């Protein structure tokens, strides 16, 4: 082999080695660049430690509505009520209605049946040693014949419980109550609907000083707003009262007294026509202990009778022929049978008698304002 050929082979070998060295150098650089990337991937992999926390939070969000629903309590009830004198007409007015007097054209029937539906929802929660229960209630009453007597009412409540006492504050909204029709003597001169809206603000404090004894302190404020034909009857009413209840082995008794002042003196034109009044109301309740419907089933359905009586005296403040010297005495009697068919299902049957007696120097007032009414009711409710 000649010298020139050896030199050529040597140069080729050196060139190949240079290429190999360059490839190795690039390989090393690639490995060095890859190391930080591998480290970053390791850092990202450490996020797996947070996955249980994220999954737990996600599960909590999914369960939160169910947890809230678990604390929601309420009831749904459907019922019916029959009244034999739905407009609370006096015997004299009932006679005129039977004779088709034109002033009673608004009466479809003197008796009527109403269908009732009520929904009550409450949410219980606890803060330290306090238990709170905000709740709402809505009631619909639909009359079958005299449909103008139908109503839509709502209540919003807040109850606070401690060991031996609880306090409930509520607001009631009664947007439409239709009483009957009267002649608008100082306006249109025609028979017009006598309706009003009522706002109720009420508070009740229940105390349990002894194991079987409880007391209730009551206060309420009401605002009555009449329609455009009878604005002179717009009024405000304040009621204060108290009751006490004691449970004996087989029954419980309750007695209460309430003092009410209704004032509409700020809305009348003639002071003689003041319809304001003061009233004293007394009531008593007798509640029997729950008893088994079937003694062979200790955990079966139970029934519980109760009887309530009420007596109210109203003293009117006006001095005209209509209100002067007038005293209304209102008697109430109510009997109830309550059946707990299960822990959630209840059936209630009741009978109510109302009678208003009028003591007045005016024979017209006595003839037109005295009335009696009987009511029969039934309601089925489901608690959840």
Residue 375 lies in a domain: yes
- Domain identity same for 308 and 159: yes
Is residue 119 scored above 50 in pLDDT? yes
Residues 42, 133: one domain?
Answer: no
- Region of poorest pLDDT, from 1-5, 196-200, 352-356, 371-375: 1-5
Which residue has better confidence, 185 or 259?
Answer: 259
Domain count, the chain: 2
Within this chain, do residues 17 and 84 fall inside the same structural domain, yes or no?
no
Radius of gyration (C-alpha) of the chain in whole angstroms: 39
Measured distance CA(295)–CA(103) in Å, rounded: 57
pLDDT for 41: 41
Per-residue pLDDT, 44: 43
Q: What is the mean pLDDT of the chain?
A: 87
pLDDT at residue 70 in the model: 53
Rounded to whole angstroms, how far apart are CA atoms 247 and 254?
A: 9
Whether 23 is in a domain gets the answer yes
Q: Which two tokens stand for residue 147?
A: 């449909």
Is residue 278 a contact partner of residue 264, using CB atoms and an 8 Å limit?
Answer: no
18/330: higher pLDDT: 330
C-beta separation of 199 from 221 below 8 A: no
Residues 86 and 49 in one domain: no
pLDDT band with cut points at 50, 70 and 90 for residue 4: very low
Whether 83 is in a domain gets the answer yes
Range of the domain at 27: 3-61
User: What are the tokens at 191?
Assistant: 């028979």
Winning range, highest mean pLDDT, from 66-80, 226-240, 269-283: 226-240
pLDDT of residue 39: 41
Which residue did the predictor score with more confidence, 63 or 81?
81
Of all residues in the chain, what percent carry a pLDDT higher than 90? 72
> What's the pLDDT score for residue 42?
41
pLDDT at 38: 42
Q: How confident is the model at residue 65, as a pLDDT? A: 60
Q: Is residue 147 part of a domain?
A: yes
Token pair belonging to 373:
């009414």
- Give yes or no: residues 127 and 45 share one domain: no
**322 contacts 329 by C-beta, under 8 angstroms:** no
Domain assignment present for residue 67? The answer is: no
When mean pLDDT is compared across 84-93, 137-146, 269-278, 368-377, the lowest value belongs to: 269-278
* Inside any domain, residue 69: no
Say what the pLDDT of residue 3 is: 40
**Separation of CA 116 from chain center:** 14
CA 184 to chain centre: 35
Is the model's pLDDT at 231 over the cut of 70? Answer: yes
Element housing 173 (H / E): strand 165-183
Any domain includes 66: no
C-beta of residue 295 within 8 angstroms of C-beta of residue 333: no
| Whether 57 and 79 share a structural domain | no
* 68 within a domain of the structure (yes/no): no
What lies within 8 Å, CB to CB, of 254 at 6+ separation is 243, 244, 245, 246, 284, 285, 287
Residues 102 and 139 in one domain: yes
CATH number, domain containing residue 297: 2.40.160.40
Residue 113 has pLDDT above 70, yes or no: yes
Q: What is the pLDDT of residue 128?
A: 86
Residue 144 and residue 57 share a domain: no
Same domain membership, residue 370 and residue 224:
yes
Q: Looking at per-residue confidence, does 37 or 181 come out higher?
A: 181
The predicted pLDDT at position 321 comes to 87
């Amino acid at each position: 082999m000649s010298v020139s050929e050896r030199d050529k082979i040597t140069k080729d070998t050196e060139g190949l080695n240079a290429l190999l060295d360059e490839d190795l150098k690039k390989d090393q650089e690639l490995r060095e660049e890859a190391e930080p990337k591998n480290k970053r991937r390791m850092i990202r992999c450490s996020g797996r430690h947070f996955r249980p926390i994220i999954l737990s939070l996600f599960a909590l969000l999914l369960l939160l509505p169910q947890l809230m629903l678990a604390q929601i309590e309420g009831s749904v009830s459907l019922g019916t009520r029959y009244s034999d004198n739905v407009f609370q007409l006096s015997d004299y007015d009932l006679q005129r209605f039977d004779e088709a007097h034109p002033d009673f054209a608004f009466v479809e029937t003197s008796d009527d049946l109403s269908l009732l539906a009520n929904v009550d929802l409450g949410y219980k929660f606890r803060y330290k040693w306090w238990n709170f229960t905000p709740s709402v209630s809505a009631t619909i009453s639909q009359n079958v014949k005299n449909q103008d007597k139908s109503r839509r009412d709502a209540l919003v409540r807040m109850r606070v419980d401690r060991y031996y006492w609880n306090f409930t504050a509520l607001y009631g909204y009664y947007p439409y109550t239709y009483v009957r029709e009267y002649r608008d003597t100082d306006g249109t001169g025609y028979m017009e609907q006598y309706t009003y809206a009522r706002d109720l603000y009420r508070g009740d404090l229940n105390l349990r000083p002894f194991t079987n004894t409880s007391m209730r302190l009551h206060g309420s404020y009401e605002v009555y707003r009449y329609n455009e034909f009878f604005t002179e009857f717009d009024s405000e009413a304040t009621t204060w009262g108290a009751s006490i209840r004691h449970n004996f082995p087989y029954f419980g008794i309750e007695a209460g007294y309430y003092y009410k002042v209704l004032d509409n003196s700020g809305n009348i034109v003639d002071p003689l026509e003041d319809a304001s009044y003061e009233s004293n109301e007394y009531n008593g309740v007798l509640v029997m202990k729950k008893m088994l419907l079937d003694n062979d089933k200790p955990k079966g359905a139970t029934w519980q009778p109760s009887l309530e009586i009420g007596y109210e005296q109203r003293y009117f403040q006006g001095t005209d022929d209509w209100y002067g010297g007038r005293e209304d005495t209102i008697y109430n009697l109510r009997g109830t049978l309550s059946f707990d068919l299960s822990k959630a299902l209840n059936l209630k049957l009741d009978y109510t008698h109302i009678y208003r007696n009028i003591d007045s120097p005016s024979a017209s007032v006595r003839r037109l304002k005295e009335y009696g009414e009987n009511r029969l009711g039934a309601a089925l409710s489901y608690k959840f």
